[in-house]
Amino acid sequence: MASSSTPSLISSHPSTSGLQIALHPLALLTISDYITRHTLRCNNGPIVGVLLGSQNGRQIAVEHAYEVVALEDADQAVMIEKEWFDAKFKLFKETHPTQDLIGWFTTTRSPTFEPSPSNAALHQQLLSYNESLIMLLLNPTPSASIGGTLPLGIYESIYEADESDANHALRLSFVPLKYTIETGEAEMIAMDAVAKASGNAVDVPLSASGRSGGETSSTTDKDKGKEKEIVKEEKKDEGLRGPVGPQNDELLSNLAARRNAVTMLTSRIRLLLKYLQSPPPGLPNHHILREIKSLTHSRLPLLTPADLKAFETEKMAEEADVNLVVLLGALTKSIEEVGNVSKKFQGIEHAKKHKGFSRYQGDEGLGEMSGRGGGGRRPGWTTFSGY
């Protein structure tokens, strides 16, 4: 944020260019990935990258982004390594001939996304590639995203007279631009895959060394014991949940969304009941009471069917259909088991006719062999008189 001694670089005049910025999620995902890798690797250099896309008249589409090599001199001024930048941009133009350099991005700690003099100096360097570059400032701190808005600001640059200078020299100023999020079909598939992967991700705390899972010398045995207990509880919960494959991700996400919706609805209804049961002291707020009445009389009845008798009839018909399908499944399984038993019985009958009586042809032969007449049997021999 600009201090009181440093004049603000944001122009006091609104934008007259009529630029319309369309941000694509793929570019934002690339910027976020770059910031994450920069943080986990404990890099100290500046985070700088370029934005690429297309411009049709006053409409600018930011479709791609990649990082660039930026260095700081002794005065902490950020400089772009020109040779590396030119080689990288040439390779990108070969693979994406329809894309152009339309802007650049960096990070800021200002809650209002205020451009700094170092941002203006770097923007001045990049103007040699495009005279109408836009600048994207992203604040990666958790407190920057308030109300579900993206923690970023987009600016265009203009030259205007410096009122603080006696000669009214021209200076580089920035004008805020409004933007919208635009997603293509291919990006929707990619973002859906990223969302599913992030739903199964595990939050691993970082140690003081900046590496996940590392231990510092100040870690006590008590802390280690707590960590082991947490790991055991997590493994226990995983065992209760059972294996979850990618084929169940869509079902789980759908059930989780419905569960969150029901939970939120329940909490809001409880809040209304609490307000009605114990209203604040003083005169009643008729505006709030009218809002509650309109809500309970117009929206909540949508949760209950208008024709309860028809609803019950339809419900019973669906239950009968489900039970019929279950019964047909059980009947099919029983028929399959009966067929298997019939095959086994036929096999036994076939073995009995071709093997059993050809070897053991009755009790008379056995009696002659034992010398006891027809009633004698040798021990260990089996007769088939029971069949």
* Per-residue pLDDT at 302: 61
- In tens, the pLDDT along 196-249 reads 666 555 455 544 444 444 444 444 454 555 455 555 555 544 444 445 555 567
User: For the chain, which ranges sit under pLDDT 70?
Assistant: 1-7, 146-148, 164-166, 168, 194-248, 298-306, 355-387
Rg from Cα positions in the chain: 38
Rounded CA gap, 214 and 209, in Å? 7
* Per-residue pLDDT at 298: 65
- Give CA 143 to chain center in angstroms: 20
The DSSP H or E segment spanning 23 is: strand 20-23
Residue type, 26: L
| Buried/exposed 196-208: b ≥16 CB within 10 Å, e otherwise | eeeeeeeeeeeee
DSSP code at position 174: E
Phi, psi of 49 (to 5 degrees): -155, 175
* Per-residue pLDDT at 198: 60
CB atoms within 10 A of CB 9: 19
- In tens, the pLDDT along 158-189 reads 888 777 666 767 888 899 999 998 887 777 77
- Please count the CA atoms within 13 angstroms of the CA of 303 that sit on its side-chain side: 9
Please name each of the domains of the chain with its CATH number: 20-189 (3.40.140.10), 258-304 (no CATH), 310-378 (no CATH)
| Buried/exposed 100-118: b ≥16 CB within 10 Å, e otherwise | ebbbbbbbbeeeebbbbee
The token pair that represents 127 in the structure block: 């103007």
* Per-residue pLDDT at 327: 93
